[in-house]
A and B are shown apart, each in its own frame.
Chain A
Amino acid sequence: MAARNRAKLPYLLVAPAVALLTLFVVAPGVYALVLSFQARKVVGGLLGGGSRLVFVGFDNYGTALADPELWSSIVRMLLVALLFIPATVGFALLFALLLDVPRVRLARSTRLAIFLPYAVPGVIASLMWGFMYLPATSPIGGDHIDFFGSVTVFFSVANVAVWGSVGFNMIVIFTALRALPSELYEAARIDGCSELRMALRIKVPLVLPAIAMCTLFTALASLQLFNEPNTLRPLSNAVSSTWVPLMKIYQDAFVDSDVNKAAATSVLFVIAALAVSFVASRTVSRVNR
């Protein structure tokens, strides 16, 4: 009896997670895949006509990929990512290393302050920064600096994203730094190694896996860029309704009611995200070795 019970419990414990996984990840995924190969076609004549879903093969993928709006949204996303990824990882690493300097002052309170934006939703962060960018209400010189210019808007969007994610990444790297054995530093200090040299020559190489993990997280976050530009949109004309790919997918699905094209773009997007993850995790395991 006990043995049978023992054999059953793990399945019971895993069941809720597997059920949720099936219903809310696998099923929507499969459904999106099915939709992406279908299109609504008008059938019948003038009388009694209607529309029904027909199989169209890769047509939706063709239309999606031939849409210049998708490509310009991808370019804009890449431009933001180009600013966002190095700034986030760079500042996170810098702050983590500074926190790890022996006897640095105010470490606890500054660490907390830098981590705090993590608790602020992206939409709310964009609202706060949006009003800081707005010329009429800006405390940071919005009447001299055009935060919604054709070039500056990329910095403005990236800045909101950086603000929200530096803290979490800093904690990831800082935790990795703290896990290093302290004996490592003693010898270097006796040899007269400066804190700066020690940070660059000893600490950074040893926390490379954590840095790689942060880079992967921020790269995935850039793919999912939506909240920041979407929230800044009502405040400025600089952000179009299809500014980044997710906004384009949303526009296709809900504004233009072309669910099938949106599904095809989503599928392409998932493939891209998985490819980024795969390449990144391969790199991480190589670094680990």
Chain B
Amino acid sequence: MRARVRLLPTAALVLGAIYCVVPTLWILIAATKSKTDLFSTATYLPSFGAGILHNIVDLSTYQDGIFWRWMLNSFGYALIGGVVASLVSAACGYAIAMYSFRGRKVVFNVILACVLLPQIVLAIPQYLLLSNVGLTDSYLGVLLPQLFNPYGIYLCRIYAASSVPQSLLEAGRIDGATEWKLFHSVGLRLMGPGLITVFLLQFIAIWNNFLLPFVMVNSDDKFPLTVGLYSLLRHGAAEASLYSLVITGTLLSVLPVIALFLSLQRYWRLDLVTGALK
């Protein structure tokens, strides 16, 4: 009885894990195949020829290596956006948690409403507004709207309240430290672990974003990977030979973030994600 109790849950979890891993494994297999093998060989068996190398070379030379440009853009957007958004969130969350000031309640309630407001429906009005100031089809047009992260502010507020003791700030004040110094040398330092999670969440949100760059950018040298691969697929609909490029590109785009994700997993404060801190 005991053994069965453990075996069944384990089997169910393994099934779930397989379901989640299979598409990645399949794309790995498909990427090993040349254009002709892709449609002619058994789909679940890899090809042991040099198909994958050819595919990578083909992809790298496609439109003068535009794929790597997309990869770089994605990292640029996600890294810069992630860092700046986390700092903005940290400052705002810290202020709301640690100080009582006029307008504090209003600001926090508006931000809370924004958490529930789907950012994505704002993409089109944002496009229309930014086109009036000539910021569409620019890196800034993609980056700026993603610097405001209401969920990040909400998490930072919870985290500041639980990890930065008011008494420590009082002690600093008695020692003559300025409020600004207290913020960056006491507040930010104590909020560090939580900030990494806020950064990772925003990094992945920007990395995964499609609609905003899709409407904002027309020139393909400013595309992130998501929009780039989508446009490649659209061309591929007319030209099936591009399928193996799309498949190889998909594989190459998934591998680095999975690697990043796995290597950073110990920095995730997942209890923070749910606001379940004690």
Contact = CB atoms under 8 A, between A and B. Distances in A.
Nearest to A194: B5
Interface string B204-243: 1001111100010000000001110110011011000001
Given A249-B124, A266-B124, A254 B262 contact: no
Given A9-B183, A176-B274, A246-B120, A110 B17 contact: yes
Interface in B24-77: 24, 26-27, 29-30, 38-39, 43-44
Contacts of B262: 112
A274 B113 CA distance: 8
Q: Is the interface of A mostly helix, strand, loop or mixed?
A: helix
A16 B17 contact: no
A35 B124 CA distance: 12
Given A10-B99, A123-B226, A226-B120, A114 B20 contact: yes
A119 B261 contact: yes
Interface string B261-278: 110010000110110101
Interface in A1-44: 2, 5-7, 9-11, 13-14, 16-18, 20-21, 23-25, 27-29, 31-32, 35
A2 B20 contact: no
Interface stretch (A48-56, A59-67, A101-109, A146-154): A101-109
A206 interface: no
Interface residues of B, number: 95
Contacts of B254: 120, 124, 128
Contact of B19 (A21, A109, A163): A163
10 contacts: A2-B176, A5-B179, A5-B180, A24-B148, A27-B129, A172-B274, A220-B116, A227-B210, A234-B233, A263-B124
Given A110-B17, A117-B20, A119-B261, 5 more contacts: A2-B179, A7-B101, A28-B128, A113-B16, A171-B274
Interface of A: 2, 5-7, 9-11, 13-14, 16-18, 20-21, 23-25, 27-29, 31-32, 35, 91, 94-95, 98-99, 101, 103-107, 109-114, 116-125, 127-129, 131-132, 136-139, 163, 166-167, 171-172, 175-176, 178-179, 195, 210, 213, 220, 223-224, 226-227, 230-231, 234-235, 246, 249-250, 253-254, 259, 262-263, 266, 269-270, 273-274, 277-278, 281
